[in-house]
Structure 1
Protein backbone atom coordinates (compact mmCIF):
# COMPACT_ATOMS: atom_id res chain seq x y z
CA UNK A 1 0.00 0.00 0.00
CA UNK A 2 2.86 2.40 0.76
CA UNK A 3 4.38 1.67 -2.68
CA UNK A 4 1.10 2.60 -4.39
CA UNK A 5 0.77 5.77 -2.35
CA UNK A 6 4.37 6.80 -3.19
CA UNK A 7 3.74 6.28 -6.91
CA UNK A 8 0.59 8.41 -6.90
CA UNK A 9 1.78 11.09 -4.48
CA UNK A 10 1.68 14.41 -6.35
CA UNK A 11 2.99 16.68 -3.62
CA UNK A 12 5.60 19.13 -4.78
CA UNK A 13 9.18 18.05 -4.21
CA UNK A 14 11.73 20.41 -2.80
CA UNK A 15 13.93 21.82 -5.57
CA UNK A 16 17.26 20.09 -5.94
CA UNK A 17 20.37 21.97 -4.96
CA UNK A 18 22.66 22.93 -7.80
CA UNK A 19 25.29 20.39 -6.75
CA UNK A 20 22.75 17.59 -6.53
CA UNK A 21 21.16 18.57 -9.86
CA UNK A 22 24.54 18.37 -11.60
CA UNK A 23 25.10 14.94 -10.12
CA UNK A 24 21.68 13.68 -11.18
CA UNK A 25 21.43 15.43 -14.56
CA UNK A 26 24.82 16.27 -16.02
CA UNK A 27 24.94 19.51 -17.96
CA UNK A 28 24.69 18.93 -21.67
CA UNK A 29 26.49 20.74 -24.43
CA UNK A 30 25.94 20.25 -28.13
CA UNK A 31 28.41 17.92 -29.80
CA UNK A 32 31.15 19.64 -31.76
CA UNK A 33 30.95 19.37 -35.51
CA UNK A 34 34.73 18.96 -35.82
CA UNK A 35 37.35 16.97 -33.96
CA UNK A 36 40.11 18.91 -32.16
CA UNK A 37 42.54 18.15 -34.99
CA UNK A 38 40.02 19.33 -37.58
CA UNK A 39 39.64 22.59 -35.63
CA UNK A 40 43.40 23.10 -35.88
CA UNK A 41 43.24 22.40 -39.62
CA UNK A 42 40.44 25.00 -39.91
CA UNK A 43 42.58 27.51 -38.01
CA UNK A 44 45.54 26.89 -40.32
CA UNK A 45 43.33 27.11 -43.42
CA UNK A 46 41.92 30.46 -42.37
CA UNK A 47 45.47 31.69 -41.86
CA UNK A 48 46.16 30.73 -45.49
CA UNK A 49 48.44 27.73 -44.99
CA UNK A 50 48.72 25.17 -47.77
CA UNK A 51 48.09 21.45 -47.14
CA UNK A 52 51.86 20.81 -47.08
CA UNK A 53 52.35 23.57 -44.49
CA UNK A 54 49.42 22.25 -42.45
CA UNK A 55 50.94 18.76 -42.48
CA UNK A 56 54.21 20.21 -41.20
CA UNK A 57 52.43 22.16 -38.44
CA UNK A 58 50.47 19.08 -37.37
CA UNK A 59 53.56 16.86 -37.70
CA UNK A 60 51.45 14.48 -39.77
CA UNK A 61 51.73 13.12 -43.29
CA UNK A 62 50.26 14.96 -46.24
CA UNK A 63 47.90 11.99 -46.73
CA UNK A 64 46.50 12.48 -43.22
CA UNK A 65 46.11 16.19 -43.85
CA UNK A 66 44.23 15.52 -47.07
CA UNK A 67 41.98 13.13 -45.13
CA UNK A 68 41.18 15.90 -42.64
CA UNK A 69 40.41 18.26 -45.52
CA UNK A 70 38.13 15.64 -47.08
CA UNK A 71 36.22 15.30 -43.78
CA UNK A 72 35.93 19.08 -43.49
CA UNK A 73 34.48 19.27 -47.00
CA UNK A 74 32.01 16.51 -46.16
CA UNK A 75 30.95 18.09 -42.85
CA UNK A 76 30.42 21.50 -44.46
CA UNK A 77 28.59 20.08 -47.50
CA UNK A 78 31.24 21.27 -49.95
CA UNK A 79 31.85 19.42 -53.21
CA UNK A 80 34.33 16.58 -52.81
CA UNK A 81 37.19 18.31 -54.59
CA UNK A 82 36.30 21.95 -54.10
CA UNK A 83 39.30 24.25 -53.89
CA UNK A 84 40.45 25.48 -50.49
CA UNK A 85 39.20 29.08 -50.99
CA UNK A 86 35.66 27.70 -51.42
CA UNK A 87 36.04 25.58 -48.27
CA UNK A 88 37.34 28.55 -46.27
CA UNK A 89 34.48 30.71 -47.54
CA UNK A 90 31.98 28.02 -46.48
CA UNK A 91 33.57 27.77 -43.03
CA UNK A 92 33.45 31.53 -42.55
CA UNK A 93 29.92 32.05 -43.88
CA UNK A 94 28.55 29.24 -41.73
CA UNK A 95 30.21 30.81 -38.64
CA UNK A 96 32.25 27.67 -38.01
CA UNK A 97 35.42 29.73 -38.20
CA UNK A 98 36.21 33.36 -37.60
CA UNK A 99 38.03 35.59 -40.02
CA UNK A 100 41.58 36.39 -38.94
CA UNK A 101 42.50 39.78 -37.58
CA UNK A 102 44.71 41.67 -39.98
CA UNK A 103 46.79 44.82 -40.01
CA UNK A 104 46.64 45.00 -43.80
CA UNK A 105 44.57 47.96 -44.99
CA UNK A 106 41.35 47.30 -46.88
CA UNK A 107 42.27 47.49 -50.57
CA UNK A 108 40.33 49.71 -52.94
CA UNK A 109 38.95 47.15 -55.40
CA UNK A 110 37.09 47.95 -58.59
CA UNK A 111 33.82 46.05 -59.39
CA UNK A 112 35.63 43.55 -61.64
CA UNK A 113 38.06 42.67 -58.84
CA UNK A 114 35.20 42.24 -56.37
CA UNK A 115 33.44 39.98 -58.89
CA UNK A 116 36.63 37.92 -59.22
CA UNK A 117 36.95 37.72 -55.44
CA UNK A 118 33.37 36.45 -55.10
CA UNK A 119 33.89 33.93 -57.91
CA UNK A 120 37.05 32.69 -56.20
CA UNK A 121 35.12 32.13 -52.97
CA UNK A 122 32.01 30.58 -54.49
CA UNK A 123 32.97 28.74 -57.70
CA UNK A 124 34.59 25.31 -57.56
CA UNK A 125 36.06 25.17 -61.07
CA UNK A 126 38.26 27.47 -63.16
CA UNK A 127 35.57 27.49 -65.85
CA UNK A 128 32.96 28.47 -63.25
CA UNK A 129 35.17 31.31 -62.01
CA UNK A 130 35.79 32.46 -65.57
CA UNK A 131 32.08 32.38 -66.38
CA UNK A 132 31.20 34.30 -63.21
CA UNK A 133 33.74 36.99 -64.02
CA UNK A 134 33.11 37.15 -67.75
CA UNK A 135 36.77 36.40 -68.47
CA UNK A 136 38.53 33.52 -70.16
CA UNK A 137 40.15 31.02 -67.77
CA UNK A 138 43.62 32.34 -68.66
CA UNK A 139 42.54 35.96 -68.15
CA UNK A 140 40.86 35.04 -64.83
CA UNK A 141 44.10 33.39 -63.63
CA UNK A 142 46.08 36.46 -64.64
CA UNK A 143 43.58 38.77 -62.91
CA UNK A 144 43.82 36.62 -59.77
CA UNK A 145 47.62 36.99 -59.72
CA UNK A 146 47.22 40.76 -60.01
CA UNK A 147 44.63 40.74 -57.21
CA UNK A 148 46.96 38.74 -54.95
CA UNK A 149 49.69 41.30 -55.55
CA UNK A 150 47.35 44.22 -54.88
CA UNK A 151 46.01 42.79 -51.61
CA UNK A 152 49.25 41.35 -50.24
CA UNK A 153 47.75 37.88 -49.82
CA UNK A 154 50.11 34.93 -50.18
CA UNK A 155 47.57 32.73 -51.95
CA UNK A 156 43.89 32.51 -52.92
CA UNK A 157 42.89 30.82 -49.66
CA UNK A 158 44.40 33.60 -47.58
CA UNK A 159 42.81 36.17 -49.89
CA UNK A 160 39.33 34.79 -49.19
CA UNK A 161 39.97 34.82 -45.43
CA UNK A 162 41.29 38.40 -45.60
CA UNK A 163 38.30 39.45 -47.72
CA UNK A 164 36.05 38.27 -44.89
CA UNK A 165 38.13 40.25 -42.39
CA UNK A 166 37.77 43.32 -44.58
CA UNK A 167 34.00 42.66 -44.98
CA UNK A 168 34.39 42.46 -48.77
CA UNK A 169 32.61 39.09 -48.85
CA UNK A 170 29.21 38.95 -47.18
CA UNK A 171 28.31 36.23 -44.75
CA UNK A 172 24.85 34.65 -44.57
CA UNK A 173 23.72 37.12 -41.91
CA UNK A 174 24.70 40.06 -44.13
CA UNK A 175 22.73 38.59 -47.03
CA UNK A 176 19.66 38.06 -44.85
CA UNK A 177 19.78 41.63 -43.60
CA UNK A 178 20.19 42.96 -47.14
CA UNK A 179 17.31 40.85 -48.44
CA UNK A 180 15.10 41.93 -45.54
CA UNK A 181 16.02 45.57 -46.02
CA UNK A 182 15.26 45.41 -49.73
CA UNK A 183 11.74 44.11 -49.21
Structure 2
Protein backbone atom coordinates (compact mmCIF):
# COMPACT_ATOMS: atom_id res chain seq x y z
CA UNK A 1 0.00 0.00 0.00
CA UNK A 2 1.44 3.36 -1.03
CA UNK A 3 1.82 6.09 1.59
CA UNK A 4 -0.25 9.20 1.07
CA UNK A 5 1.85 12.30 1.78
CA UNK A 6 0.49 15.79 2.01
CA UNK A 7 2.18 18.48 -0.07
CA UNK A 8 5.19 20.06 1.65
CA UNK A 9 3.46 23.41 2.10
CA UNK A 10 0.70 21.84 4.23
CA UNK A 11 2.75 19.48 6.40
CA UNK A 12 3.26 22.11 9.07
CA UNK A 13 -0.38 23.29 9.05
CA UNK A 14 -2.17 22.70 12.32
CA UNK A 15 -5.56 21.04 12.40
CA UNK A 16 -8.55 22.90 13.85
CA UNK A 17 -8.32 20.79 17.01
CA UNK A 18 -4.58 21.49 17.36
CA UNK A 19 -5.30 25.20 16.99
CA UNK A 20 -8.02 25.02 19.66
CA UNK A 21 -5.63 23.21 22.00
CA UNK A 22 -2.72 25.59 21.32
CA UNK A 23 -4.83 28.71 21.90
CA UNK A 24 -5.95 27.41 25.29
CA UNK A 25 -2.43 26.37 26.25
CA UNK A 26 -1.19 29.84 25.21
CA UNK A 27 -3.82 31.27 27.57
CA UNK A 28 -2.20 29.35 30.42
CA UNK A 29 -4.49 26.35 30.76
CA UNK A 30 -3.11 22.95 31.70
CA UNK A 31 -3.96 19.75 29.85
CA UNK A 32 -6.88 18.82 32.12
CA UNK A 33 -8.51 22.25 31.81
CA UNK A 34 -8.02 22.26 28.03
CA UNK A 35 -9.51 18.77 27.85
CA UNK A 36 -12.51 19.79 29.96
CA UNK A 37 -13.16 22.87 27.78
CA UNK A 38 -12.93 20.89 24.55
CA UNK A 39 -14.70 17.75 25.76
CA UNK A 40 -11.70 15.51 25.08
CA UNK A 41 -9.29 13.50 27.24
CA UNK A 42 -6.13 15.02 28.73
CA UNK A 43 -4.14 12.35 26.88
CA UNK A 44 -5.61 13.67 23.63
CA UNK A 45 -4.40 17.16 24.52
CA UNK A 46 -0.94 15.68 25.12
CA UNK A 47 -1.12 14.03 21.69
CA UNK A 48 -2.13 17.27 20.01
CA UNK A 49 0.74 19.12 21.71
CA UNK A 50 3.16 16.42 20.54
CA UNK A 51 1.82 16.76 17.00
CA UNK A 52 2.24 20.54 17.15
CA UNK A 53 5.85 20.05 18.27
CA UNK A 54 6.51 17.60 15.45
CA UNK A 55 4.92 19.78 12.76
CA UNK A 56 6.62 22.98 13.90
CA UNK A 57 9.95 21.41 14.96
CA UNK A 58 9.65 22.62 18.53
CA UNK A 59 10.59 20.56 21.56
CA UNK A 60 9.39 22.29 24.69
CA UNK A 61 5.84 23.31 25.51
CA UNK A 62 6.64 27.06 25.44
CA UNK A 63 8.56 26.70 22.15
CA UNK A 64 5.62 24.83 20.59
CA UNK A 65 3.28 27.67 21.52
CA UNK A 66 5.83 30.24 20.32
CA UNK A 67 6.10 28.46 16.96
CA UNK A 68 2.32 28.19 16.58
CA UNK A 69 1.90 31.90 17.38
CA UNK A 70 4.85 32.96 15.20
CA UNK A 71 3.46 31.14 12.16
CA UNK A 72 0.16 32.98 12.59
CA UNK A 73 -1.83 29.77 12.96
CA UNK A 74 -2.85 30.54 16.55
CA UNK A 75 -4.18 33.74 18.10
CA UNK A 76 -2.43 35.23 21.12
CA UNK A 77 -4.42 35.37 24.35
CA UNK A 78 -6.03 38.58 25.57
CA UNK A 79 -3.51 40.68 27.43
CA UNK A 80 -3.44 43.92 29.34
CA UNK A 81 -0.57 46.37 29.26
CA UNK A 82 2.89 44.83 29.07
CA UNK A 83 5.18 45.34 32.03
CA UNK A 84 8.52 46.96 31.37
CA UNK A 85 11.16 44.27 30.95
CA UNK A 86 14.92 44.77 31.13
CA UNK A 87 17.13 43.59 28.28
CA UNK A 88 18.21 40.60 30.41
CA UNK A 89 14.56 39.69 31.02
CA UNK A 90 13.77 40.00 27.31
CA UNK A 91 16.76 37.75 26.52
CA UNK A 92 15.44 35.18 29.00
CA UNK A 93 11.96 35.45 27.50
CA UNK A 94 13.34 34.84 24.00
CA UNK A 95 15.36 31.87 25.26
CA UNK A 96 12.32 30.43 27.07
CA UNK A 97 10.30 30.67 23.85
CA UNK A 98 12.92 29.11 21.60
CA UNK A 99 15.09 26.71 23.60
CA UNK A 100 14.24 23.09 24.48
CA UNK A 101 15.44 22.85 28.10
CA UNK A 102 16.95 24.69 31.06
CA UNK A 103 20.55 24.12 29.94
CA UNK A 104 19.88 25.63 26.51
CA UNK A 105 17.81 28.46 28.04
CA UNK A 106 20.65 29.21 30.45
CA UNK A 107 23.23 29.27 27.66
CA UNK A 108 21.08 31.55 25.47
CA UNK A 109 20.18 33.89 28.33
CA UNK A 110 23.61 33.98 29.95
CA UNK A 111 22.43 32.33 33.18
CA UNK A 112 23.46 29.40 35.34
CA UNK A 113 21.19 26.44 34.51
CA UNK A 114 20.36 25.85 38.19
CA UNK A 115 18.89 29.37 38.42
CA UNK A 116 16.73 29.35 35.27
CA UNK A 117 13.55 28.32 37.09
CA UNK A 118 14.08 31.06 39.68
CA UNK A 119 14.41 33.72 36.95
CA UNK A 120 11.44 32.32 35.03
CA UNK A 121 9.29 32.44 38.18
CA UNK A 122 10.24 36.10 38.63
CA UNK A 123 9.17 36.80 35.02
CA UNK A 124 5.87 34.97 35.59
CA UNK A 125 5.14 37.11 38.64
CA UNK A 126 6.09 40.33 36.87
CA UNK A 127 3.91 39.49 33.86
CA UNK A 128 1.01 38.03 35.84
CA UNK A 129 1.33 34.81 33.82
CA UNK A 130 0.01 31.44 35.00
CA UNK A 131 2.93 29.46 33.58
CA UNK A 132 5.70 29.62 30.97
CA UNK A 133 3.41 28.94 28.00
CA UNK A 134 1.06 31.69 29.16
CA UNK A 135 4.06 34.04 29.43
CA UNK A 136 4.96 33.21 25.82
CA UNK A 137 1.36 33.79 24.74
CA UNK A 138 1.17 37.13 26.54
CA UNK A 139 4.53 38.15 25.09
CA UNK A 140 3.16 37.61 21.60
CA UNK A 141 0.09 39.68 22.46
CA UNK A 142 2.42 42.44 23.72
CA UNK A 143 4.52 42.06 20.54
CA UNK A 144 7.63 41.20 22.54
CA UNK A 145 7.93 37.92 20.62
CA UNK A 146 7.04 36.96 17.07
CA UNK A 147 7.27 38.64 13.68
CA UNK A 148 6.31 42.12 14.86
CA UNK A 149 8.83 41.89 17.70
CA UNK A 150 11.57 40.97 15.22
CA UNK A 151 10.75 44.02 13.11
CA UNK A 152 10.69 46.23 16.21
CA UNK A 153 13.98 44.78 17.43
CA UNK A 154 15.59 45.41 14.02
CA UNK A 155 14.29 48.99 14.06
CA UNK A 156 15.68 49.53 17.57
CA UNK A 157 19.01 48.06 16.56
CA UNK A 158 19.13 50.24 13.45
CA UNK A 159 18.52 53.39 15.48
CA UNK A 160 21.20 52.59 18.07
CA UNK A 161 24.04 52.10 15.57
- Is TM more than 0.5 here? yes
> Are residue 101 (structure 1) and residue 70 (structure 2) matched?
no
Q: Which runs of 5+ in 2 are unaligned?
A: 1-8
> How does the TM-score come out when normalised to structure 1?
0.71
Q: Does 1:86 align with 2:86?
A: no
Question: Of 107, 115, 121, which aligns to 1:139?
Answer: 115
Deviation at 1:31, TM superposition (A): 7.2
Report 1:1-183 matches (<5 A): 33-78=13-58, 82-103=59-80, 105-171=81-147, 174-175=150-151, 178=154
Count of aligned pairs between the two proteins: 148
**48-57 vs 154-163, which moves further:** 48-57
Which one has a bigger Cα radius of gyration? 1
Aligned equivalents of 1:144 and 1:50: distance in 2? Answer: 18
Relative contact order: is structure 1 or structure 2 higher (C-alpha 8 Å, sep ≥ 6)?
Answer: 2
Q: TM-score if structure 2 supplies the norm length?
A: 0.80
Mapped partners of 2:142, 2:62: distance in 1: 16
Gaps of 5+ in 1: 1-29
Say which structure is richer in helix. 2
2:4 is matched with which residue?
none
